[in-house]
Amino acid sequence: MPATLARQLSDADNTGIRLTSASLTEPATPAEAFAVQRETLSLNNWLTGGYKVAIRPDGSSVSAPMAHITHASESGTAGFERPAVDALEVEICFVLGKDLAAPGGTPYTRETLLAHVATISSGVEFLGHRLDDGSKSPALLFLADRLGNAGYVLGEELPAKVIEPGQAYPLTITVNGDTVFTGPGKHPNDDPVAAFLLFANALTEPVAKGRIITTGSLCGALPLPARAAIAISGFTTLTVTAASTREG
């Protein structure tokens, strides 16, 4: 089953089409969904450049590998294209400065985890749904679809104080000149480190140095037109031109 579903999701990703959830076989377990994620990347020889991580309502860790990671220029500009680019999320992310091993018998603490981080940065996650109902699709199908991830733009380095819990982030986002979000931005867990720590303590294999860990949107998911000139200001400054190539 993982191979079949991975092929279906891969074909949808590469063409920009959406699949009807009812026509697909939902993974039976999270382990099966994670296997589909890995197989989808393997089919395309896509590098796992990082992970988007979150906390399930039951308190457990959920994650998806991210491919198609772009670094903004020193002037804070970037371009991003995929067959489907449906929405954006502005985030805070961590770039690993050394390999993050599975915890074994000694769980990570906030302090020991952050010792593995080289930089804290702003970032933009792009969503490209391969499922007709997106994030409202059956949970394990959405997980198998890499939580809707299309790619990521890594922005500027930020001061360490941005990850202190309980903050609000000045944030304004315009798309094609129209303001689509004006802050304050808030992290869904109130703490950008919380989901990262849960993810690290659930690891069964290492995550390599240089990978990006991103832990949640400060603005929710904001829909995008097929071609979008995005300007982000406030706690970070970033300009991104994004396009869904299926439209062209």
Query: What's the pLDDT tens digit per position in 134-171?
Result: 889 999 999 999 999 999 999 999 999 999 999 999 99
Question: How many whole angstroms from its chain centre is CA 19?
Answer: 21
- Taking all residues of the chain, what is their mean pLDDT, rounded to a whole number? 94
What b/e readout covers 77-110, taking b as 16+ CB neighbours within 10 angstroms? Answer: ebebbbbbbbbbbbbbbbbbeeebeeeeeeebee
Q: What is the pLDDT of residues 23-37, one digit of tens each?
A: 999 999 999 999 999
Closest residue by Cα to residue 166 from 195, 146, 186: 186
> Does residue 119 sit in helix, strand or coil?
strand
- What sign does the CA torsion over 133, 139, 141, 142 have? positive
- As to burial, measured by CB atoms within 10 angstroms (0-12 exposed, 13-18 middle, 19+ buried), residue 20 is exposed
Closest residue by Cα to residue 73 from 241, 233, 244, 210: 241
Q: What is the pLDDT of residues 212-247, one digit of tens each?
A: 999 999 999 999 999 999 999 999 999 999 999 985
- Is residue 1's pLDDT more than 80? no
Q: Which residues contact 146 (CB under 8 A, 6 or more apart)?
A: 37, 40, 52, 64, 65, 66
Q: What is the pLDDT of residues 7-66, one digit of tens each?
A: 999 999 999 999 999 999 999 999 999 999 999 999 999 999 999 999 988 999 999 999
- Is residue 121's pLDDT more than 70? yes
pLDDT at 247: 54
Closest residue by Cα to residue 159 from 84, 220, 235: 235
Contact 54, 62 (CB under 8 A): yes
pLDDT at 183: 83
206-209's contacts with Cβ under 8 Å and 24+ in sequence apart are: 206/99, 206/100, 206/101, 206/102, 207/51, 207/96, 207/99, 207/100, 208/96, 208/99, 209/96, 209/97, 209/98, 209/99, 209/118
Mean pLDDT value across residues 126-132: 94
pLDDT at 246: 84
The whole model's pTM is what?
0.94
pLDDT at 66: 96
pLDDT at 122: 97
Classify domain 2-247 at the CATH topology level.
Fumarylacetoacetate hydrolase; domain 2 (3.90.850)
Q: What is the pLDDT of residues 180-208, one digit of tens each?
A: 999 899 999 999 999 999 999 999 999 99
pLDDT at 135: 86
Domain boundaries, the chain: 2-247
pLDDT at 170: 97
**Prior bond to 188 cis, omega within 30?**
no
Closest residue by Cα to residue 188 from 57, 15, 79: 57
Report the amino acid identity of residue 24. Answer: L
Q: What is the pLDDT of residues 89-107, one digit of tens each?
A: 999 999 999 999 999 889 9
Q: How far apart are CA 171 and CA 219, in angstroms?
A: 8
